[in-house]
């Protein structure tokens, strides 16, 4: 079975840094400005008296550090779909491949490709953990944190609203809310509330 599936493909011409011919049309002052942006040491060119040699050196250094070619881009993960029945995962990536002709940039090929790979129990646990953390953080983002400065209020949020949750999840809820309150009160006098597993178990 071929696990690779090309979803889309397009050819584009990306913007590139100036090439040698473009740099030759610039003044020495403009070239020096580019060199400064590339952190080329001033002492490497400021003592060159001859303007032709200085310009040639500046252009050479600029091309060395910032060639007229698009910057390499790592593959970007766009989406992951889980199939728990068949224990597979389909990842979709975006790839950008730069094409050159005789050493000169021609165009780039952007493709979106999907790959089906085996799914592990560890990945499922990591996914569920991330989903849980995101869900709790989204819930906390909707709270008025000034109403949760007391330990009792934090425990109420962690335990009373969702009594059927595990002790570990309640502890995570309390810990994340406590952290959010501490950040909210930064710069003000506030005594951090220490929440323990024992506090959760006896609430």
Q: What is the pLDDT of residue 2?
A: 52
Q: What is the pLDDT of residue 1?
A: 41
Cα 51-53-56 angle, rounded to 5 deg? 105
Cα 173-174-176 angle, rounded to 5 deg? 65
Tokens of 118: 């085996």
For residue 83, give its domain range.
Answer: 4-11+71-119
* Model pTM score: 0.65
Q: What is the pLDDT of residue 40?
A: 92
Q: What is the pLDDT of residue 63?
A: 94
Residues 132, 187 within the same domain? yes
User: pLDDT tens digits, the chain, 203 residues: what are they?
Assistant: 457 889 999 999 999 999 999 999 999 999 999 999 999 999 999 889 899 999 999 999 999 999 999 988 999 999 999 999 999 999 999 999 999 988 889 999 999 999 999 999 999 999 999 999 999 999 999 999 988 888 899 999 988 876 778 889 999 999 999 999 988 888 777 777 888 888 888 88
In 104-188, which ranges are continuous DSSP H helix? Answer: 121-141, 151-155, 167-184
Residues in the chain: 203
Q: What are phi and psi of 107, to 5 degrees?
A: -165, 180
Whether 140 and 146 have beta carbons less than 8 Å apart is answered as: no
Residues 76, 53 within the same domain? no
How far apart CA 181 and CA 186 sit, in angstroms, is: 9
Residues 59, 77 within the same domain? no
How far apart CA 168 and CA 149 sit, in angstroms, is: 22
The residue from 100, 119, 138 where one domain ends is: 119
Residues 98, 59 within the same domain? no
Residues 108, 36 within the same domain? no
Q: Domain tally for the chain?
A: 3
């Amino acid at each position: 079975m071929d696990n690779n599936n090309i979803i889309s493909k397009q050819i584009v011409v990306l913007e590139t840094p100036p090439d040698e011919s473009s740099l030759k049309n610039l003044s020495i002052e403009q070239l020096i400005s580019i060199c400064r942006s590339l952190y080329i040491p001033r002492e490497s060119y400021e003592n060159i008296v001859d303007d032709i040699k200085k310009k040639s050196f500046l252009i050479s250094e600029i091309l060395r550090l910032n060639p007229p070619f698009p910057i390499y881009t790592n593959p970007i993960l766009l989406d992951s779909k889980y199939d728990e029945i068949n224990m597979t995962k389909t990842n979709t990536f975006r790839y950008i491949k730069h094409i050159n002709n005789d050493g000169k940039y021609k165009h780039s090929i952007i493709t979106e490709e999907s790959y089906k790979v085996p799914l592990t129990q560890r990945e499922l646990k990591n996914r569920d953990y991330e989903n849980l953390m995101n869900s709790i953080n989204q819930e906390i983002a909707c709270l008025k944190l000034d109403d949760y400065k007391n330990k009792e209020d934090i425990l109420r949020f962690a335990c009373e609203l969702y009594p059927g949750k595990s002790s570990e999840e309640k502890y995570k809820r309390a810990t994340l809310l406590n952290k959010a309150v501490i950040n909210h009160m930064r710069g003000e006098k506030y005594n951090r509330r220490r929440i323990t597993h024992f506090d959760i178990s006896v609430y």
